[in-house]
């Protein structure tokens, strides 16, 4: 594989230099395209990375196409029951969610979950991620009963797997907060947002944008409950 180009693309992605990362990812693909056989897991990884880079730039349709190619290649080269196939389904679902196609997102997350349940241990954090993602997609469709069930299952898996303090655990709490806010329960929503924020504050690798998003929701819920001082102090 075009290892150097692939590694440089990942490095630039971590640095937030998405245009440069895209250039390196495309160079890696150009090299892979000259190799044979065409269906190689390495080529699928390159398409998957390109999908990530395009998604970070908000180019979701292009990102979805790249993920779709990666999915087909992973299925042909690794088999339909491989964790990378589940990851590809998950990536496509994330892209669908970004463009507001929540039914497609739910279908993709469910497909990823089915594969992960068959090939991963029951307390693997990827299973928690799947349930958490489903929670978010259901909540976006205002299917709150299904959303709460998915969030609860996610938290149970994270706790069983020893991942209770991972930044990934903040998302189920955040989604529960959005559900409660939509149901006009600002005090309970604020508690959920506060739990999500506390997890992020304790994590050295927390995403600043994710923290800002949750902080904004917490402040809004506190204003709804007429706690302006708390809303300002965070």
Give the chain's domain count.
Answer: 1
**CA 61: distance to chain centroid?**
17
Q: How far apart are CA 69 and CA 148, in angstroms?
A: 33
SS (H, E, C) 23-87: HHHHHHHHHHHCCCCCCCHHHHHHHHHHHHHHHHCCCHHHHHHHHHHHHHHHHHHHCCCCHHHHH
Q: What are 166-196's pLDDT values in tens digits?
A: 889 999 999 999 999 999 999 999 999 999 9
Q: Residue 227 sits in which domain range?
A: 165-234
Band (pLDDT 50/70/90 cuts) for residue 227 is low
Residue 232 has a pLDDT of: 41
Residue 36 has a pLDDT of: 61
DSSP state of 174: H
**Mean of pLDDT values over 100-106:** 97
Percent of the chain with pLDDT over 90: 70
- Decide if 18 contacts 56 (C-beta within 8 A): yes
- Decide if 169 contacts 155 (C-beta within 8 A): yes
Q: Which helix (H) or strand (E) holds 18?
A: helix 18-33
113 domain residue, yes or no: no
Instruction: Count Cβ atoms below 10 Å from residue 15 Cβ, excluding itself.
Output: 10
179 domain residue, yes or no: yes
Closest CA to 214 of 156, 172, 185: 172
- Decide if 44 contacts 82 (C-beta within 8 A): no
- Decide if 130 contacts 122 (C-beta within 8 A): no
- Decide if 156 contacts 168 (C-beta within 8 A): no
What are the E-state strand segments in 123-174?
none
195 domain residue, yes or no: yes
218 domain residue, yes or no: yes
Band (pLDDT 50/70/90 cuts) for residue 221 is confident
Residue 204 has a pLDDT of: 75
5 domain residue, yes or no: no
60 domain residue, yes or no: no
Q: How far apart are CA 174 and CA 85, in angstroms?
A: 27
DSSP state of 202: T
Cα torsion at 58, 60, 63, 69 (round to 10°)?
180
147 domain residue, yes or no: no
pTM: 0.86
217 domain residue, yes or no: yes
Q: How far apart are CA 12 and CA 18, in angstroms?
A: 7
Residue 215 has a pLDDT of: 82
């Amino acid at each position: 594989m075009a290892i150097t180009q692939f590694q440089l693309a990942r490095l630039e992605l971590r640095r937030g230099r998405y245009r440069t990362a895209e250039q390196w990812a495309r160079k890696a693909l150009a090299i892979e395209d000259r190799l044979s056989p065409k269906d190689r897991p390495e080529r699928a990884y390159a398409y998957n990375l390109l999908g990530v880079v395009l998604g970070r730039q908000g180019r979701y349709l292009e990102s979805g196409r790249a993920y779709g190619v990666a999915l087909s290649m992973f299925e042909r080269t690794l088999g339909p029951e491989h964790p990378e196939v589940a990851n590809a389904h998950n990536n496509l679902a994330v892209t669908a969610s970004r463009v507001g196609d929540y039914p497609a997102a739910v279908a993709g997350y469910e497909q990823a979950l089915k594969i992960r349940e068959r090939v991963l241990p029951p307390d693997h954090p990827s299973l928690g991620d799947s349930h958490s993602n489903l929670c978010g997609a259901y909540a976006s469709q205002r299917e709150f009963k299904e959303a709460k069930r998915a969030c609860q299952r996610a938290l149970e898996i994270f706790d069983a797997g020893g991942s209770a303090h991972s930044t990934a655990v903040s998302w189920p709490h955040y989604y529960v907060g959005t559900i409660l806010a939509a149901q006009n329960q600002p005090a309970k929503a604020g508690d959920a947002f506060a739990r999500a924020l506390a997890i992020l504050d304790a994590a050295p690798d927390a995403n600043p944008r994710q923290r800002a998003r949750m902080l904004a929701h917490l402040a809004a819920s506190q204003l709804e409950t007429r706690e302006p001082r708390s809303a300002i102090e965070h």
